Amino acid sequence: NAGVTQTPKFQVLKTGQSMTLQCAQDMNHEYMSWYRQDPGMGLRLIHYSVGAGITDQGEVPNGYNVSRSTTEDFPLRLLSAAPSQTSVYFCASSYSAQLGGQLHSPLHFGNGTRLTVT
Amino acid sequence: DAKTTQPTSMDCAEGRAANLPCNHSTISGNEYVYWYRQIHSQGPQYIIHGLKNNETNEMASLIITEDRKSSTLILPHATLRDTAVYYCIVRPINRGAQKLVFGQGTRLTINP
């Protein structure tokens, strides 16, 4: 298994540009999520999904959109990039305890996308 | 989820046991203790979890006090590759990994 794959690894955007961060997992996990991590800070949840067709907001959703058309993919869209969105973005997935999956299924993280908005 | 308290940073000599404490005095009976770590610039990695008994796997051991108000993660023979931020998280079993909240963690530095 490749696990959780994030692309691109690095990206530089100008203010106002839009882009999509890709996340794919091959473990058949129901639950997927996006976090951002700023220097010296912990991870903050942006959006999450408990299954295909279902998404919900996390702690810091403003400026980001998500969709979950398949179990495998959970892209994160920046609608109009701002310097405040400069960060490292991590995608993570796990089985869903609520759906009868493994109760202690841990989060599996990708290696991150480093985004700079100038 | 119950609040956890961890030291901001710790140092340990290579080859020695690294003992990372975590206080969770408000833990409920249905809440487990989970440990993750984040090596520099990588995504966090699951280490171990436990309810009330001591647990051990290939990565670490977890010691939970009898009153469950605190726990210690033990890396028995620390190596330089164990330098990372370690997160202690408490949450009920029926929530799985959904909306997992990572605090500031403990920055562990293994010194040669």
Q: Quote the pLDDT of residue A2.
A: 84
- Residue-wise pLDDT for B29-83, tens only, equals 888 999 999 998 899 999 999 999 899 999 999 999 999 999 999 999 999 999 9
A7/A17 Cα distance (integer angstroms) = 17
Q: Is B30 exposed, middle or buried (0-12, 13-18, 19+ CB in 10 A)?
A: exposed
Please count the CA atoms within 13 angstroms of the CA of B81 that sit on its side-chain side. 2
Please answer yes or no on whether A43 and B41 come within 8 Å at the CB atom.
Answer: no
Chain A interface, Cβ < 8 Å to B: 4, 31, 33, 35, 42-43, 45, 48, 50, 58, 88, 90, 92, 94-98, 101, 103-112
Query: Among all chains, which residue has been given the structure tokens 């961060």?
Result: A21
- Residue-wise pLDDT for B7-23, tens only, equals 999 999 999 999 999 99
> What six digits make up the tokens of B59?
């990565």
- Residue-wise pLDDT for A41-74, tens only, equals 789 999 999 999 999 999 999 999 999 999 999 9
Q: Quote the pLDDT of residue B98.
A: 80
* pLDDT over 90 percentage in chain A: 85
Q: Quote the pLDDT of residue B7.
A: 97
The predicted model gives A13-30 an average pLDDT of: 96
- Residue-wise pLDDT for A66-100, tens only, equals 999 999 999 999 999 999 999 999 999 998 766 55
Q: How many CB pairs under 8 A join A and B?
A: 75
Strands A87-94 and A108-109: antiparallel
B104, pLDDT greater than 70: yes
Q: Which residue of A has its CA nearest to B86?
A: A42
Q: Quote the pLDDT of residue A61.
A: 97
User: Which chain B residues are Cβ-neighbours of A58 within 8 angstroms?
Assistant: 99
A6, pLDDT greater than 90: yes
Q: Which of B43, B97, B101 sits opposite A112 (nearest CB)?
A: B43
Q: Quote the pLDDT of residue B1.
A: 73
Q: Which residue of A has its CA nearest to B94?
A: A97
Q: Quote the pLDDT of residue A103.
A: 66
Q: Quote the pLDDT of residue A98.
A: 61
